[in-house]
Chain A
């Protein structure tokens, strides 16, 4: 090859990205995407995660039962470590794909920075992605619905909620939480709703979907009435459980993960609709979290088809299941984007322009940056603004005054790093 004249250039080397990289460096490209496409949007992330196991001692200390607190502290210092009292199986936790995706379970470098490590990491993530608000969910606790000891779920729910409300959320007004409900024990859920319904930073309630409770059971009617009365939404956050007999047939994490996150929310939505819960609690706002979108048109068609043939089994319904589903809310992640025609049809049938809420799931392995919405070719600018934040503002009654720094300020804060 004939050479051009070699030219001088300003060259600097970029570091590898790994599990101890600064969030602002990992997400610098997302900041650039914000700068280019959505810096003036109001953006709310409905589903991000606390790696609460990193601060598990702080939570265990707040357990109000002496015996379980002592047991938890003992496990924390011993074999249980950061998974004390929990029912997750570390040996089956393949989220990072053998370390290929470093941000799952990441440790933020915070040496020399004042503040709680979780809040520092969350602030860096919000700034880097251009978020005005972020709602934080637990991570390891997502499987507690399958814990064999109901009293442990109750104890950890109480401690975690207290940790969030008293310690974490007051540190940054952009952070908001949904109250964890220990759904295997309805009376304990009612007590927590009563205690925290008026907390400013608690903008809704959440049930971890990975469980085998029938959500139409009469044991929950008082709870639903109490939540309906607050006007705040009830979110079912999906998850996985490899030990479920159906999923135990699957030999790869990806197979189990792909199916289980849609499976649990499909079961709960089906029970909710066929038992006419939308008619019994017409003002209760239902939000379905972290199942993506592809399952929604499937379930709409499937249930409409069967309800029309078997109306005597769903006599409380006054409309088709799909029509009720169009009035529910859904979060976007993990957004299935491999077939734009199907995605466009999905968003149309679920009324995404008013019912879909952007969620990142950061820092989990299959997270979505806001550009997953802004880069969709078939959405109007208004639809993108609605999905990225305005629908959430309406659902959660959030003030839409911008709170985030501009992207160029964020990039200027890490000059030459990524």
Chain B
């Protein structure tokens, strides 16, 4: 947290957590806040690819390559039951909502926004 950072309450945790995702413009800074599997994450709404509005894209299950361990034969493509991905609507870059890393190349990462719950309020630090 830098000296000139500021804490901003964006709403009641109990209400926001029911929504899974909220994208906000806060004094000109755009962020997405996610409530997934009991966790909270917040990311800057800027795709590291070409600057697209990544946080306004679809939330989808991570796609998995199924492989039979014994035979190494393909089981085809499958959808993860617990991992959620955020998809940039501009070009389809997919990022893990919990760690912000691209599905294949983790050199492409979302920029995190500090977020916490304080006195029942969701608070982000910008």
Q: Which residues of A contact B (CB under 8 A)?
A: 1, 3-7, 9-18, 26, 28-29, 33, 97-103, 365-369, 371-372, 416, 418
Interfacial residues of chain B within 64-101, with CB under 8 A of chain A in the complex: 87, 89-92, 94
3 closest residue pairs by CB, A with B: A17-B89, A4-B7, A14-B23
CB A147 to nearest CB in B, in angstroms, measures 30
Known: A11-B24, A11-B25. A100 touches B57 (CB 8 A): yes
Question: B7–A11 contact, CB under 8 A?
Answer: no
A29 to B6, CA, bound (A): 25
How many chain B residues sit at the interface, stated as a range, is 20 to 34
A279: min CB distance to chain B, Å = 41
Query: How far, in Å, is A214 (CB) from chain B's closest CB?
Result: 35
Query: Which residues in B have their C-beta under 8 angstroms from that of A33?
Result: 51
Query: Which residues of chain B are within 8 angstroms of A418 by Cβ–Cβ distance?
Result: 53, 56
In contact, A29 and B53 (Cβ under 8 angstroms): yes
CA distance A416 to B28 in the complex (A): 10
Q: Shortest CB–CB separation between residue A86 and chain B, in angstroms?
A: 25
B92 and A11 within 8 A (CB): no
Asked if B26 and A14 make an inter-chain contact with CB atoms under 8 angstroms apart, the answer reads no
Identify which of residues 21-65 in chain B touch chain A, using a CB-to-CB cut-off of 8 Å: 22-27, 30, 45-46, 50-53, 56-58, 60
Is A16 touching B23 in the complex (CB atoms < 8 A)? yes
Instruction: Give, as a whole number of angstroms, the nearest-CB distance from B92 to chain A.
Output: 5
Residues of A within 8 A of B5 (CB): 4
Interface of A is mostly: loop
B12: Cβ under 8 A from any A Cβ: no
> Which residue on A lies nearest to B118, using beta carbons?
A3
Distance in angstroms between the alpha carbons of A10 and B10 in the assembled complex: 10
| From B50, B87, B125, residue with most partner A Cβ within 10 Å | B50
Contact assessment for B91 and A7 in the assembled complex, using a CB-CB cutoff below 8 Å: no
Contact call B25/A12, Cβ cutoff below 8 A:
yes
25 residue pairs of the A-B complex, CB under 8 angstroms, read A3-B7, A3-B118, A3-B123, A4-B5, A7-B7, A10-B27, A11-B25, A11-B27, A12-B25, A14-B25, A16-B23, A16-B56, A17-B57, A26-B89, A28-B53, A29-B51, A29-B52, A29-B90, A97-B87, A100-B94, A101-B89, A102-B58, A366-B91, A367-B90, A371-B50
In this assembly, does B9 line the interface, its C-beta being within 8 Å of a C-beta of chain A? Answer: yes
* Contact, CB under 8 Å: B8 / A6: yes
Residue of B nearest to A416 (CB): B25
A9 touches B27 (CB 8 A): yes
Q: How far is the CA of A3 from the CA of B58 in the complex (A)?
A: 32
* Known A7-B6, A97-B92, A100-B60: A13·B51 in contact at CB below 8 Å: no
The answer to whether B116 has its CB under 8 Å from any CB of chain A is yes
User: Which A residues are CB-close (under 8 A) to B52?
Assistant: 29
Q: In angstroms, how far is the closest chain A Cβ from the Cβ of B91?
A: 7
Contact for B30 among A10, A14, A18, A372, CB less than 8 A: A14
Residues from chain A with Cβ under 8 Å of B50 in the complex? 368-369, 371-372
Measured CB to CB, the nearest residue on chain A to B8 is A9
Residue of A12, A100, A369, A416 contacting most chain B CB atoms (<10 Å): A100
Distance, CA A366 to CA B118, complexed state (A): 42
With a CB–CB cut-off of 8 A, which chain B residues contact A6? 7-9, 121, 123
Measured between beta carbons, the chain A residues less than 8 angstroms from B51 are 29, 33, 371
Whole-angstrom distance between the Cβ of A52 and the nearest chain B Cβ: 23
Residues of A within 8 A of B57 (CB): 16-17, 100
A101 near B91: Cβ-Cβ < 8 Å = yes
Can you name the residue of chain B whose Cβ is closest to the Cβ of A19?
B89
- Please determine whether A100 and B92 come into contact, CB atoms closer than 8 angstroms: yes
Establish whether residues B58 and A99, one from each chain, have CB atoms under 8 Å apart when the complex forms. Answer: yes
Partner of B8, one of A7, A12, A26, A367: A7
Please pick, from B23, B58, B87, B116, the residue contacting A13 in the complex, using a CB distance under 8 A.
Answer: B23
Residues of chain B within 8 A of A13, CB atoms compared: 22-25
Q: Chain A nearest CB: distance from B42 CB in Å?
A: 13
| Further pairs besides A5-B7, A9-B8, A101-B89: 20, Cβ < 8 Å | A3-B7, A6-B123, A9-B27, A11-B24, A11-B25, A13-B22, A16-B58, A18-B58, A18-B89, A26-B89, A29-B52, A33-B51, A97-B87, A97-B92, A98-B60, A100-B60, A102-B58, A365-B92, A372-B50, A418-B53
Chain B residues numbered 1-17 whose CB sits less than 8 Å from any CB in chain A: 5-10
For A16, the chain B residues whose CB sits under 8 A away are 23, 56-58
For B9, the chain A residues whose CB sits under 8 A away are 6
Contacts of A101 in B (CB 8 A): 87, 89-92
CA distance A13 to B55 in the complex (A): 12
A372 to B125, CA, bound (A): 31
Please give the distance in Å from B30's CB to the nearest CB on chain A: 7
B89 surroundings in chain A (CB, below 8 A): 17-18, 26, 101-103
